[in-house]
Amino acid sequence: MERRVVITGIGLITPIGNDAETTWSSLLAGVNGAAPTTLFDTTEFATKFACEVKNWEPSKWFDKRELKHLDRFLQFGVAAGMLAVEDAGLGTKVPVGLEHRWGTFIGAGLGGVRTIEDSYAAAKLKGPRHGISPYFVTDIIINELPGMVSIRTGATGPNISHVSACSTGAHSIGEAFRTIRHGYADGMICGGAEATISILGVGGFNSMRAMSTRNADPQHASRPFEKDRDGFVIGEGAGVVVLEDLESAKKRGARIYAELIGYGANSDAHHVAAPAPEHKGAQACFKVAIEDAKLTPDQIQYINAHGTSTDLNDKNETLAVKKVFGEHAHKLAISSTKSMTGHMLGAAGGVEAAITAMALQRGVLPPTTNYVTPDPECDLDYVPNVPREQRIDYAMSNSFGFGGTNAALVLSRYKGD
C-alpha cells in the first residue's frame, strides 16, 4: 500500500531572505533580489547584476576552519537543510533509533564552480603543490552536500545527489517522495542548492545570450511572461524541505505544510538547451504528475511556473499549460516567483516547491512582479504584480532543465485527515 507523504519542514536561503518566513514576506511585498554584482568584477561582462544572497552569515553553521575553504553552494545547502530540520521540530537530529529510516537527497546544477575558478588561479600563481587545497575535491563535488547534512543530522538512510540542471531541486524532492511512498524511508531531507554567480557561471550564460542585460534597471529585469523580457536573472541560494510519511509525522505531532501527492519526470529527447516544440516533453510531464496524483487537470488551481523570463521558456510553458489544461488553463492562477528571486538554477525547484506548499497552507498566492506589458503569446492569468488571497486545494510546481529534463510536483492542502 502506498504511503502518504507530507512536508513538515522548510529551509530557504534566497536573494530575498535567509529563512522561509523572511522569503515569504518578501514575496508578498514584491521585494526584488536583483542588484549590481558584488561577487566578482563584471567590467567586461554583458550582464553586470544578479540576485545574490544578502547579509550572509555562515558562522551560525560553520566554524572558521571550515569557512576558509567551504564552497558557497555547500554553505547555502547545508544551512537550508539544517533550517528545514529545525523547522520540522526535530532540532538538529533525525529521530533517535530511526536514523536508518531517514535520508538526504540534495543536489545542485553545477556545484563548486567558484572553488574551481579560485583553485585554478591559485595553481597558476603558486603551482599545484601550494595552490590546490586538500579540500578541493570535497568542496566541488555535489554529493558532499547531502553527505554533510547526513553527518550533521545523523541520517543514515539513502544519501544521493540528483543533478538535472534547473530541475535538480524538484527531482530531488520527487525522488524522495517516491522513496517514502514506497516504504524505503520514513523521512527525507531534500531539495537543491546553487552558487554560480561567478566568472564562469555568468560568462557561460552570457555567451549563450540567455541572461538579461538590463543593467540600468536590475530590479525590473526579471519579468516572466511579459512582452519586454530579455532573458533570465541569475540567482543563488538553496531550498530544502523535510518530507515525512504522514503517519510518522502525526505520531510525533509535526506541523504539516502540505501533502505531496504527484510527481512526473521525463525527457524532451530534443536538444541540449532548447525546449521541444510546443514543450511536448513538459506536456507529457504534467500529465504524468497529475495522473500520479489521481487528479484531473481541472482540479489544479495554481501553478508555480518555471517562468524564467526567457523568450523560449515562457511562451512554450504557456503553450504546454494550454495544451494540457484546455479551457481550464484560463481559470488557473499562475505565477513565477523568479521575478523576485531570479533563477536559482539547481536550487529553483526546491525553493519553488516550498513556496507552493506555503501558498497552499496560507491561502495566498505570490505574484509575478514586473508584469507591465502583456505578451500576446503568453495570455494566461499570471497573478500580476500583487499577491492574491485565494484558498486552493491543489497546486503544481514546474521545473525544466538543460538536456531536456522536466519535473512536475503536485501538492495538496492538508486538511487534517
Q: Is 279 a catalytic residue?
A: no
38 and 171, same domain (yes or no): yes
What's the distance, CA 307 to chain centroid? Answer: 12
Question: In the listed set 216, 251, 286, which residue is the last one of a domain according to the structure?
Answer: 251
199 and 96, same domain (yes or no): yes
What's the distance, CA 112 to chain centroid? Answer: 17
Question: In the listed set 251, 277, 308, which residue is the last one of a domain according to the structure?
Answer: 251
Task: Say how far apart CA 249 and CA 36 lie, in whole Å.
Answer: 43
Confidence at residue 277, expressed as pLDDT on a 0 to 100 scale: 84
183 and 233, same domain (yes or no): yes
| 295 within a domain of the structure (yes/no) | yes
Q: Is 166 a catalytic residue?
A: yes
CB 100 within 8 A of CB 156: yes
What are φ and ψ of residue 365, in 5° steps?
-105, 125
Q: Which residues of the chain fall short of a pLDDT of 70?
A: none
Please write the tens of the pLDDT for every residue from 128-175: 889 999 999 999 999 999 999 999 999 999 999 999 999 999 999 999
From the list 162, 171, 279, 343, the catalytic residue is 343
Confidence at residue 274, expressed as pLDDT on a 0 to 100 scale: 87
Q: In this structure, is the dihedral angle defined by the CA atoms of residues 165, 392, 281 and 279, taken in order, positive or negative?
A: negative
CB 399 within 8 A of CB 386: no
CATH label of the domain that carries residue 402:
3.40.47.10
23 and 134, same domain (yes or no): yes
281 and 246, same domain (yes or no): no
> What residues contact 34, with CB distance under 8 A and at least 6 apart?
15, 49, 50, 51, 218, 219, 221, 222, 233, 342
| 257 within a domain of the structure (yes/no) | no
287 and 209, same domain (yes or no): no
183 and 286, same domain (yes or no): no
Cell numbers that stand for 178 in this block:
517516491
Task: Say how far apart CA 222 and CA 214 lie, in whole Å.
Answer: 9
CB 273 within 8 A of CB 401: no
Work out how many domains the chain is built from and give that number: 2
| 44 within a domain of the structure (yes/no) | yes
365 and 247, same domain (yes or no): no
| 43 within a domain of the structure (yes/no) | yes
128 and 243, same domain (yes or no): yes
> What's this model's pTM, rounded to 2 decimal places?
0.98
89 and 154, same domain (yes or no): yes
| 256 within a domain of the structure (yes/no) | no
User: By residue range, what is the domain housing residue 386?
Assistant: 264-412
Confidence at residue 275, expressed as pLDDT on a 0 to 100 scale: 86
| 238 within a domain of the structure (yes/no) | yes
Task: Say how far apart CA 399 and CA 281 lie, in whole Å.
Answer: 12
176 and 311, same domain (yes or no): no
Task: Say how far apart CA 273 and CA 207 lie, in whole Å.
Answer: 13
Task: Say how far apart CA 77 and CA 239 lie, in whole Å.
Answer: 7
Task: Say how far apart CA 67 and CA 72 lie, in whole Å.
Answer: 9
Confidence at residue 416, expressed as pLDDT on a 0 to 100 scale: 83
| 91 within a domain of the structure (yes/no) | yes
Q: Is 378 a catalytic residue?
A: no
| 360 within a domain of the structure (yes/no) | yes
76 and 147, same domain (yes or no): yes
Question: In the listed set 229, 251, 273, which residue is the last one of a domain according to the structure?
Answer: 251
CA distances from 377 to 238, 317, 367 (A): 32, 10, 19
From the list 166, 190, 285, 378, the catalytic residue is 166
From the list 162, 171, 279, 306, the catalytic residue is 306
